[in-house]
Amino acid sequence: MNDCIFCNLDFDKVENTVICETKNFRVIPSVGSLLDGYVLIVTKNHINSLSELTDEQKVEYENLVSEILQIFQKVYGRTPILFEHGTPNIQNSMSATSIIHAHSHIVNFKFKNESEILEKYNFISIQNFKDVKRENYIYYVSDNETKYVSYNFDSISQLMRILIANEIDKGEQYNWRKFDFKENIVTMLNKFKDI
pLDDT in tens, 100-117: 899 999 999 999 999 999
Is the pLDDT assigned to residue 164 strictly greater than 80? yes
Q: What is the DSSP letter of 8?
A: G
Is the pLDDT assigned to residue 95 strictly greater than 50? no
Query: Torsion over CA of 160, 26, 188 and 146, rounded to 10 degrees?
Result: 40
Residue 147: phi, psi to the nearest 5?
-100, 140
Per-residue confidence band for 1, with pLDDT thresholds at 50, 70 and 90: low
Per-residue confidence band for 47, with pLDDT thresholds at 50, 70 and 90: very high
Q: What is the pTM of this model?
A: 0.93
Q: Return the number of other C-beta atoms located less than 10 Å from residue 183's C-beta.
A: 10
In this prediction, residue 130 carries a pLDDT of 84
Angle at 49 between CA 45 and CA 92, to 5 degrees: 130
Sequence-separated (6 or more) residues with CB below 8 Å from residue 143: 78, 79, 80, 81, 109, 110
Give the three-class secondary structure for 10: coil
How many helices (H) does the chain have, and how many strands (E)?
4, 8
Across residues 122-126, what is the average pLDDT?
96
Is the pLDDT assigned to residue 192 strictly greater than 90? yes
Range list of H helices, 36-122: 55-76, 114-120
